[in-house]
Amino acid sequence: MERSKQKQMNESENEADSAINGHFDGRVKIPGWSAGGAAGTPSTAPSSSVMESWREERTRSLEDNELSLPSIAAAYTTILRGLGEDPQRQGLLKTPWRAATAMQFFTKGYQEKIIDVLNDAIFDEDHDEMVIVKDIDMFSMCEHHLVPIFGRVHIGYLPNKRVLGLSKLARIVEIYSRRLQVQERLTKQIAVAITEALQPAGVGVVVEATHMCMVMRGVQKMNSKTVTSTMLGVFREDPKTRDEFLTLIRS
Amino acid sequence: MEYQKAAELNGLCNGKIVTEYLCRNGFSELTVDAKKVAVQHKNETSRKEAEDESRLPALEEAYTTILRGLGENTDRQGLLKTPLRAAKAMQFLTKGYHETIYDVLNDAIFDEDHEELVIVKDIDMFSLCEHHLVPFFGKVHIGYLPSKKVVGLSKLARIVEIYSRRLQVQERLTKQIAMAISEALQPVGVAVVIEAARMCMVMRGVQKMNSRTVTSAMLGVFREDPKAREEFLALTKGAQ
């Protein structure tokens, strides 16, 4: 883990931005936009500093997990003591290990690459109507407070001769949400991943989530929800398409 | 008394594990000193608020270790201050260790000649699972049958706060709330029901999104008399 991270860090020294979400940050070239691959849309390619997901390096492997477990568990023991608890009492004896394993599970998105998940399930279909998968349950971790975020993701895309296996949309959500995230970035990463995989005419992603950092602490607003969305391609330019998408996810 | 030691289980570092509770037969075995209001070792807390600041650096370092162990880059902009924020958040989420029942309740117990059921329901509760350090949250419904003494209603919610803002097991939380009320007021009966969603089951492990855990503690007349219990349960189910 250290080695691959070092390599990435060295490569990124030339870039102005530091790594986002643990990955090497590169300027994204979205193939197919500027080359007119999308049916006649003269859009300016939305340049973003989000990862080019196909080229991601995996930052963590299962062996890395095992190797770092003792130090994470020791850190949790320190935390328990610092909070005034007794780590030797029966209920807390194995808590550092359980909490460490749980935290590794909540960040298992770092172990996976889009390319592994998607490679087989892209099919050539002559379908050019909107495809929507909605109400995908999403669980993530706030990168600022290390407290859960959970909610729903709605994804829609207008295929351009290529469609994706539907569960793969949910898998893309899983890969990006099981990380330390900011909701805005999560939405964008999902949209960009689908764009790069399929080169569709347009992609729309809406994420509606409850942030425990606002509910359990801080302002403590129980019923507040945060909604973010990313519209790319024809969803961004054509208001009618966007309306259709938003209406269908609401119904 | 045995049941006092059960309440030591979280918040105090004595750690005696008790396998039975004396309150099995309601209150007939209680001999309660009239002046003694609180079970909790009245003025002792395992954590003083003033010490929180001094413990922050150790917590911050621990969180930095965790972030690195997870494969993240702790120098990136979004994570620069995260150890500090996470440490403060964790201290907030376990602030129940600062407080004792004694502080919260002492002033708000009144003598009233009321002998009908008093219920406060739908109290939002947020706690941390002590096994995985992951939140669980839900609603608490409390009912009691006073015996000449009533308590300020918001104090019931404060009791919930004190016990829930700790590393908890839902069963123990329910019992601690019930015991605290029974010892403060010596009512004819106390009933506490907690319905919670556990993130340790929803976000990981079995990953059952819609599962809810319900625990209850019935003391005194609520344990012995099925009609009283039915009335309480009917009233709390009512307008959900």
Question: CB contact, 8 Å: B77 with chain A?
Answer: yes
Longest Cα–Cα distance of chain A, Å, equals: 67
What residues of chain A lie within 8 A of the CB of B132, using their CB? 95, 98-99, 102
Are B69 and A148 a contacting pair at CB < 8 A? no
What residues of chain B lie within 8 A of the CB of A69, using their CB? 69
Select the residue of A64, A89, A182 nearest B15 (Cβ to Cβ).
A89
What residues of chain B lie within 8 A of the CB of A222, using their CB? 124
Q: Give residue B22's region: left, alpha or beta (phi > 0; psi -120 to 50).
A: alpha
Residues of chain A with pLDDT under 50: 1-19, 22-55
Q: What is the predicted pLDDT for the residue at A64?
A: 83
Integer Rg of chain A from CA? 20
Chain B interface test: which of A2, A65, A89, A112 (most B C-beta within 10 Å): A89
Say if residue A94 is exposed, middle or buried (CB neighbours under 10 Å; 0-12, 13-18, 19+): exposed
Select the residue of B76, B93, B204 nearest A20 (Cβ to Cβ).
B76
Are A104 and B70 a contacting pair at CB < 8 A? yes
Q: What is the predicted pLDDT for the residue at A33?
A: 38
Chain A interface test: which of B66, B74, B100, B129 (most A C-beta within 10 Å): B66
Select the residue of A80, A102, A145 nearest B89 (Cβ to Cβ).
A145
Which residue from A minimizes the CA distance to B13? A86
d(CA B95, CA B84): 16
Q: What is the predicted pLDDT for the residue at B45?
A: 64
Number of Cβ within 10 Å of residue B234's Cβ equals 9
Select the residue of B9, B65, B86 nearest A146 (Cβ to Cβ).
B86
Q: What is the predicted pLDDT for the residue at B34?
A: 33
> In which order are the strands placed within the sheet that holds B189-198?
B167-168, B118-129, B135-145, B189-198, B213-220
Question: Is A140:A179 a contact under the CB 8 Å cutoff?
Answer: yes
SS3 sequence of chain B: CHHHHHHHHCCCCCCCCCCCCHHHHCCCCCCCCCCCCCCCCCCCCCCCHHHHHHHHHHHHHHHHHHHHHCCCCCCCHHHCCHHHHHHHHHHHHCHHHHCCHHHHHCCCEEECCCCCCEEEEEEEEEEEECCCCCEEEEEEEEEEECCCEEECHHHHHHHHHHHHCCEECHHHHHHHHHHHHHHHHCCCEEEEEEEEEEHHHHCCCCCCCCCCEEEEEEEEHHHHCHHHHHHHHHHHHHCC
Give residue-wise pLDDT tens across range B110-138.
Answer: 888 888 999 999 999 999 999 999 999 99
DSSP state of A54: G
Q: What is the predicted pLDDT for the residue at B102?
A: 81
Q: Hey, which residues does B185 pair with through a beta bridge? A: none
Q: Give residue A196's region: left, alpha or beta (phi > 0; psi -120 to 50).
A: alpha
Q: What is the predicted pLDDT for the residue at B100?
A: 84
- The residues in B 142-161 lying below 8 A from A, measured between CB atoms, are none
Give the long-range contacts of residues A186-190, CB within 8 A, separation 24 or more.
A186/A138, A186/A140, A186/A228, A187/A228, A187/A229, A187/A230, A188/A48, A188/A50, A188/A230, A189/A21, A189/A50, A189/A51, A189/A53, A190/A153, A190/A155, A190/A230
Question: CB contact, 8 Å: A45 with chain B?
Answer: no
Q: What is the predicted pLDDT for the residue at B136?
A: 92
Question: CB contact, 8 Å: A146 with chain B?
Answer: yes
Q: What is the predicted pLDDT for the residue at B98?
A: 83
Cβ-Cβ pairs closer than 8 A, A with B, add up to: 173
By annotation, the residues of A acting in catalysis are 142-145, 183, 211, 213
What residues of chain B lie within 8 A of the CB of A12, using their CB? none
C-alpha distance from residue B118 to each of B107, B114, B180, B191, B231 (Å): 19, 9, 16, 10, 11
Question: CB contact, 8 Å: B122 with chain A?
Answer: no
Question: CB contact, 8 Å: B136 with chain A?
Answer: no
- The residues in A 202-241 lying below 8 A from B, measured between CB atoms, are 212-213, 215-217, 222
Q: What is the predicted pLDDT for the residue at B138?
A: 93
C-alpha distance from residue B187 to each of B4, B145, B175, B206 (Å): 18, 6, 15, 40
Question: CB contact, 8 Å: B124 with chain A?
Answer: yes
Residues of chain B with pLDDT under 50: 1-9, 11-43, 240
Which residue from A minimizes the CA distance to B12? A85
Q: What is the predicted pLDDT for the residue at A251?
A: 79
Question: CB contact, 8 Å: B54 with chain A?
Answer: no
Which residue from A minimizes the CA distance to B90? A83
Q: Hey, which residues does A102 pair with through a beta bridge? A: none
Select the residue of A20, A100, A147 nearest B89 (Cβ to Cβ).
A147
Which residue from A minimizes the CA distance to B56? A82
Q: Does pTM top 0.95 for this prediction? A: no
Select the residue of B9, B85, B132 nearest A99 (Cβ to Cβ).
B132
